[in-house]
Structure 1
Amino acid sequence: MNFQEITQVAIALLTTLGLKVVGAIILFFIGLKLIEFCTRFLKRIFRSQQIEPTLITYLLNIISVTLRIVLIVAILGFFGIETTSFAALLAAVGIAIGAAWGGLLANFAAGAFLIIFQPFKVGDFITAGGVTGTVTEIGLFTTAVNTLDNVMTIVANNKIFSDNIQNYSSNPYRRVDLLAQLAHGVDHNQAIALLKAKISQIPHILDNPGPDVEILTFNLAGPVLAVRPYCHNDHYWQVYFDTNKAILETFTEAGYSVPEQRYTVNAATNGAHSFIPTTSEIG
């Protein structure tokens, strides 16, 4: 075979290979367009079924990645590469990555369960994974929570799913728990009535259930009242602060003195002194 024949064969091979490369590139871009069209179509279908937006994003990401892998395998088959061996290699790589990234996959699985079971959703106020705040995003591997002091905190999904979750936004209202100390000698029935009347004037307090004001316990200074108004979660802290102010204003207007503890010193027969605590009168 002379040089001219070798050149002709080389040109023919390069032409065939070049056409295949161009065809593969065209096929790749056409495939990407079809995948985008498919995901947009599925997105419209999911939205029409009123599926949770976070779950829609989650499913579309999985479908998109799967279709891209299928596209790459199809292009390799177009070049005559044995895809069975490639699939086996891909599976082996997946197993190796799974073993190395066990924690990452655990977060991925936990994220799937969080989206499916929905113990909370974006916008809910929760305590989970040792963090308290408002959920801003539920991702594939992590959840973003904006804390009360306006700090964005990223928590691993597996840490959230494996621990207790408190969702303060699930119920229509929550209770504010506060204490009010009375001195001995104060008419507790009068104090309770005055407090209830004052608290009922606080904005965002619920009438049903109404605020609870009852004697909770006793100490050396006198009775301790449990003051428990109810409100929507969005108004919790404002009601908390307003109720504290209401307690102070109510007792001040009623003329109640600040409770205090006093001690009586009695002389013992052996010359020593003993200290016996007694409760004080008002003042």
Structure 2
Amino acid sequence: MRIIVAHHNPASCERWRNALAHELPDAEVFIWNDAETRKADYAIAWAAPSQEFFARQPRLKAFFSTGAGVEKLLASSNLPVALPVIRLEDAGMGAQMATYCVGTALNWIRQRDEYAKQQQAKRWQPLPGEDMADWPVGIFGLGVLGRQVAEAFAALGFSVNGYSRSIHSFPGMRCFAESGGAGDFSAFLAATRILVILAPLTPQTRDRFDRSALAQLVPNSYVINVARGELLVDDALLALLDSGHLAGAALDVFRQEPLPPDHRFWTHPAIRITPHVSAITVIGPSAHQVAAKIRSLEQGAAVSGVVDRSRGY
């Protein structure tokens, strides 16, 4: 069995090759280059390689993505239509997402920015305490990552609402679903003070959080986006922050990355920015997951994480 690593980052290529070789000692794991002629059974990369790559790899059984989001990969015309694509499922990203989102929310609730200003002014002034019961959290997207974030909030005593494409039922969470119709989406927004956007980017979720949607959040709400920048309409967020309807936002993903220097997000006092670091791929556990799926595929068994191209995830 042969596995070809075609990651765009040379250092990541080496690390993926070494990790997969450790997990699958009987496999031949090698890195793609322009002179490579060996034919592989499986490929792994973050983005779709060149047409030449796929022309030289006609016997691939599956293509493994090194990320959870696959919209850019699926958009590539180089990717063969019939080639199964398998995405990562968590592999350490869920815990990172949970700490990022919960930590951000707690900073708002405990008014850390206000106390930082007081420190600079050398002013001692305790602020009124906040009750977490007044901070219902809404998780938009209840996949593997979304559920872990929801569970982390619930464990701290937050009231948690979840919204997903289909109907779910999870302990300690009030669930809304796309299949319930437009009323369910409005009810989800109206019940949410901290909105956490965690759904994949699809034609149905692109620009989902426009001004009409964000205006349905309760007054003085906050937004956390750790999904994709295209789910959130930039001008709508800015307008509702300026009007005072929204109190703040924490953004880790953007329509254009890196975020252009002249974008207003950089200087808005109510926005906190991080450079797409809420959850990074941890190669060790990710390689373990990929190896387990390859072993299952070699035995003729079905695996999870296979991308439905009609859905986009």
Range of TM-score over shorter length: under 0.3
Which has a greater percent of helix? Answer: 1
**Larger relative contact order (Cα-Cα within 8 Å, sequence gap ≥ 6):** 2
| Structure number with larger C-alpha Rg | 1
Which has a greater percent of strand? Answer: 1
